[in-house]
Amino acid sequence: MLSRYAWEPSYSGIQTFMKAPLCLSPEDLRAGAIDVAVGGIPWDGTNTARAGTHLGPQAVRRCDNLWAPPYGRPHLHTRVDLFDHLKLADYGDCEVIVGNPKRTYDNIRAFVRDIAGAGVLPILIGGDHGITLPNVLGLTDAQPGRRLAVIQFDAHTDTAPLPEDGYGNHGTQMRELIELGVLEGGALIQIGIRGYWPPPEITAWMEERGVKTHYMAEVQRHGFATVIERGIAEAAEVADDVFLTFDVDSCDPAYAPGTGSLEPGGLTSREALWAVRRIAHELNLVGMDMVEVSPPYDIPNNITAQLGHRVISEALTGVAMRRAGIEGPDYLDERAAGAVT
């Protein structure tokens, strides 16, 4: 671990994710027998709202207030320590070219392809949500022929059409994945959608292609647990593998103010963390990104960066639970959940 001292939190010293060792090439990943690589994508060039998401990766890395191994990271609800089951590395940041989305997206695609091609699970910290397009493309480059579903936590569907002569942005990437044939419409599962966008013609396009959109209205009527169970079942039915993309604006601004496209009425942080852990445990997670943390709007307490960090931590715990052979839906350790005696 990248710590000089035993008691060295993430905001001190060299700031890698959870003080994990640094790898800079696929050869490093293979030599270290790494299971999971966390990489940063400091890109804000396809953002159409409040800027600042290029600062997200470093904010998420340094906001942690816990110590690294040998003290461990036991998840108190499950009693699983991810470091007992996973070798974690920080893969540094992808090269971004300011003002040049095409070259940047090419770089991101290669960045993710290198990680996944080394047999390592890529977890990417954004950056604006446009990065999901090259993230998924890089993953499918490295792992062709697999049936892939994307589970998207978001306030917005991000299914706007491309401008006639323009490049996509953080509101077009999910539609692009479908139009490129990378993703079947029914393999896109959206959770947390609300507000006043998209307009009817875009909603109609989504419905025609079978996109599984779970609005907050469904949460209101049936409960969040039911919605998550439906989403997990939908993914399992159509795919072998799952890519999870988590936009922090899926959470209510009370829990995630540091983002660009605020939309009241969202998930609580507790709901989000629980759901991410379930998905990573119960489905075969092959990649993930966590996007749209904007530190300039996260002052003074960094609560959005902290949420983003814990979203990734919960996903890692879920993967570790799967590696440990824990079975059954919505697993909790009875010592934490309060066993019935």
- Under CATH, which number does the domain 17-144+247-332 receive? 3.40.800.10
Domain range annotation of the chain = 17-144+247-332
Going by their DSSP bridges, the two strands 148-153 and 285-291 should be labelled as unpaired
For 237: left if phi > 0, alpha if psi spans -120 to 50, otherwise beta; the answer is alpha
Only one residue has tokens 């299971």, namely 35
Average pLDDT, the chain: 95
Would you state the structure tokens that stand for residue 72, as one six-digit string?
């461990």
- Give the CA dihedral 160, 148, 22, 246, nearest 10 degrees: 40
d(CA 274, CA 264): 20
pLDDT tens digits, residue range 209-248? 999 999 999 999 999 999 999 999 999 999 999 999 999 9
181: left (phi over 0), alpha (psi -120 to 50) or beta: left
Which candidate, 71, 86, 70, places its Cα nearest to that of 319? Answer: 86
Task: Please give the structure tokens belonging to residue 205.
Answer: 């396009």
Residue 33 backbone phi and psi in degrees, to 5:
50, 45
Pairing of strands 74-75, 80-81: antiparallel
Query: What span, in angstroms and rounded, lies between the C-alpha atoms of 245 and 136?
Result: 10
Confidence check: pLDDT of 9 > 80: no
Q: By mean pLDDT, which of 164-168, 197-201, 214-218, 286-290 is the weakest?
A: 164-168
Mode of pairing for the β-strands spanning 88-93 and 188-193:
unpaired
Kind plus residue range of the DSSP H or E element containing 123: strand 121-126
**CA angle centred on 32, ends 244 and 36, rounded to 5°:** 10
pLDDT for the residue 157: 98
**205 Cβ partners below 8 Å, 6+ apart?**
159, 161, 175
| Paired sense of beta strands 212-215 and 241-247, if any | unpaired
User: pLDDT digit string (tens) for 288-337?
Assistant: 999 999 999 998 889 999 999 999 999 999 999 999 999 999 999 999 99
pLDDT score, position 307: 98
Is pLDDT at 71 greater than 90 in this prediction?
A: no
Mutual angle of helices 101-117 and 132-142, in 10-degree steps: 40
What pLDDT score was predicted for residue 11? 80
Please say whether the beta carbons of 102 and 42 come within 8 A.
no
pLDDT at residue number 341: 57
